[in-house]
Amino acid sequence: MDDDRPLHGVRVLDLTNVLAGPYCSYQLMLFGAEVVKIERPGGGDLARSLGPDPELNRAALGASFLAQNAGKKSVELDLKDPADRTTFEKLVRDADVLLENFRAGVLSRIGYSWEVLRRLNPRLIYCAISGFGQTGPMRHAPAYDQVIQGLAGMMSITGTPETAPLRVGFPVSDTVGGLVAAMSIAAALAGRNRTGHGRFLDVSMLETSLSAMGWAVSNYLVSGVPPEPMGDQNATAAPSGTFHAADGPLNIAANRQEQFEQLCRIIDRPDLVTDHRFAEREARKQHRAELNEEINRALSARPAADWEHLFATAGVPAARILTVPQAVELDQVNERGFFTDLAFPARPDRTLRVSGNGVLVDGAPLRPHAPPPLLGEHNAEFRSTSEEVPAP
């Protein structure tokens, strides 16, 4: 399927580190792009030393790196070295996309502004991911995922009134920033087919996080109502949140009237439908605590898996709350080929399992075709063919 993937034939120069940028280029690779990862000589992507296994970190194969870099190529280049700059400029001339996630202006300060890059390759799509974007009063400020979560207001509404602010349990701002960057690059490539011209894409993690927060922001913008931390409850509906079956937690989102009525029938509490406190949507939100108590009492009669089956059969959105180890073993994701087993880099005795992106193209999952690269693994492939070209 590799030759049929939508981005086959697209070359991406990836100068990024750690997560937002590598996550973006991993998505592009899954869709068929050739990703050439430009890394700092001797050290490479910082993620090579990040992860829970110290041995892998010392080998420059940290779990954080392995998770986002399968199928890419690695070339070591020092962009302050004249010979390496010549190689880099040759790569730029032959590339479709250049992706970086430095602080605003870093690439420009070493001689590769958008104007210079555009002269080298007028068809180039240049995408810069940063915490705050390339303009504005915060453009030079350093930013990690947690910093962005805090500034976006995300942490203020995560947890309960007693525990907020809390960081979301995974780097959501990095991930969303990477996804928006990948979408922007795909759109720019499509536009280039029409115009023949490249684009400069300026992606702000702060702004992509605010965009992803949906109603938490729009309710305030439209109605002037600031969101508050509500733990595992959904402010827009009730019953909607985490409940407790006989053996563990269960998520239920009976957000529509017919779903609520079905739920009451299944738990053998039809009286809740006619109770004035719960009969209609707004009343249920006002009496959320009492309703939750009644539902939890009924749910205690069965294990969560039984309720999940009963509710799903009746069209009521509900499911168990799983641990990560349980989630990755779900038949649903494995039957669709979400995970891929690869040879472990430089470790023939081990297997590396990596994630896909949840997209089937013509019924087939998108998979990496090779393991993550060793640092500089593809130096010879690109350095040996470099030509002397004049500096812009």
What is the CATH architecture of 2-212+338-383? 3-Layer(aba) Sandwich (3.40)
Dihedral pair phi/psi, residue 68, rounded to 5°: -120, 10
Looking at residue 2, what is its pLDDT?
59
Among the listed residues 2, 78, 174, 268, the single catalytic one is 174
Q: Where are the domains of the chain?
A: 2-212+338-383, 240-244+249-320
Alpha helices in 153-275 (DSSP H): 172-195, 205-212, 215-223, 257-266, 271-274
Matching residue, tokens 């180039």: 124
Q: Is 210 helix (H, G, I), strand (E, B) or coil?
A: helix
Other beta carbons within 10 Å of 74 = 23
Q: Which residues of the chain have pLDDT under 50?
A: 385-392
Looking at residue 235, what is its pLDDT?
87
* Residue 174: active-site member: yes
Q: Which CATH class is domain 240-244+249-320?
A: alpha beta
Matching residue, tokens 């701002």: 173
The Cα–Cα gap between 45 and 373 comes to 11
The Cα–Cα gap between 86 and 391 comes to 8
Which positions ≥6 away from 302 have C-beta within 8 Å? 245, 246
One DSSP character per residue, 108-123 reads HHTT--HHHHHHH-TT
pLDDT (tens digit per residue) in 293-345: 999 999 999 999 999 999 999 999 999 999 999 999 999 999 999 999 999 99
Tallying the residues shown for the chain, one arrives at: 392
Same fold, 2-212+338-383 and 240-244+249-320: no
Which positions ≥6 away from 65 have C-beta within 8 Å? 22, 45, 47, 48, 50, 51, 372
- The dihedral built from the CA positions of residue 373, 379, 385 and 389, taken in this order, carries a sign that is positive
Looking at residue 387, what is its pLDDT?
46
Looking at residue 117, what is its pLDDT?
98
> In what order do the strands lie in the sheet containing 318-320?
240-244, 249-253, 318-320
Looking at residue 182, what is its pLDDT?
98
Q: Residue 20 to residues 35, 96, 169, 183, 337: CA-CA distances in angstroms?
A: 15, 20, 16, 13, 24
CA angle 324, 55, 99 (to 5 degrees): 70
